[in-house]
Amino acid sequence: MKKSIFNLCVFGLFLTLFFASCNKEEYDNEVLQIDDPVETASLRSVTCDNDVIGTFTINRGTVYTYTLAANIPDRNPTVRWEVQPGMTIVSGQGTTRVRVSFSSSFSSGRLTALLNGGQCGVIKQISVAQSSQNRCPNRMTIQYAAGRNGCDDFLIGIYNGLGVTSVTFTFSARHISNRVFQTYNFSTPRNGTITAPLYLPRSVQQSNNIVWIKANVTLSDGTRCSELRKSVRLDCSLGGGGGGGGMR
């Protein structure tokens, strides 16, 4: 009788240990399946709701001020400003306010403000005011080249253009009509004075011959300017540089 009771107790203890082990394994499985939403600094998003305030349609040869309105907790953030050709940072690099100058050849470009080591950025497109962006040249001169006579060697100039992208110079004299002697195609629009050398062929080099010079100009906005033209009467008696430096 005692033996039966002993066996029954051992069997009961075995069942108790078995079920306890199963429950622990099930609990462990449940723990492993928990998704722990631990937030780390590397996972936090950076607020980039910022803007640059300033003038974005500018006049060449002028300095403008731009301010970064930053939506970040830091009251004095470090800002890296980046500019493109024709733009120069005058002062303020590293701060929220910068002064930028624009060259006389500037046509368009981007102003960039970078925060938080480049994690946040604001890019603004800047262009030239239409009133100052393009203008056709309005004057032409014909100058005798220094040290040469007034029969074969000249320097042609056109003046006061803005945003010039191409110029074709031609001459006409006697049997020659609109012969091209110089062509320019500028990747960056040119402003101001543009010159071209002209060497006349011997067949034209006679006193009293009249030579017509023409310049056909195209601007950066596609405008084709009215043809500039000017004439010169040859004087081959000016040999030895007597006409050097003269302007017609």
For residue 217, pLDDT beyond 90: yes
Please state whether the predicted TM-score (pTM) of the whole model is above 0.75: no
Computed over its alpha carbons, how large is the radius of gyration of the chain?
40
pLDDT digits (tens, 9 = 90+) for 112-133: 999 877 778 889 999 877 655 6
Adjacent-strand bridge partners of 51:
69
Q: Are 180 and 195 in contact (CB under 8 A)?
A: no
Most confident of 49-53, 88-92, 161-165, 222-226: 88-92
Residue with tokens 């006389």: 104
CA distance 53 to 55: 7
Whether 209 contacts 115, CB under 8 Å: no
Strands 108-115, 97-102: pairing kind? unpaired
Q: Which helix (H) or strand (E) holds 28?
A: helix 2-32
Q: Which helix (H) or strand (E) holds 108?
A: strand 108-115
Per residue in 3-39, pLDDT tens?
A: 555 555 555 555 555 555 555 444 444 433 333 333 3
DSSP string, 31-48: HHT-------GGGSPPP-
Percent share of the chain, pLDDT over 90 = 38
As to burial, measured by CB atoms within 10 angstroms (0-12 exposed, 13-18 middle, 19+ buried), residue 213 is buried
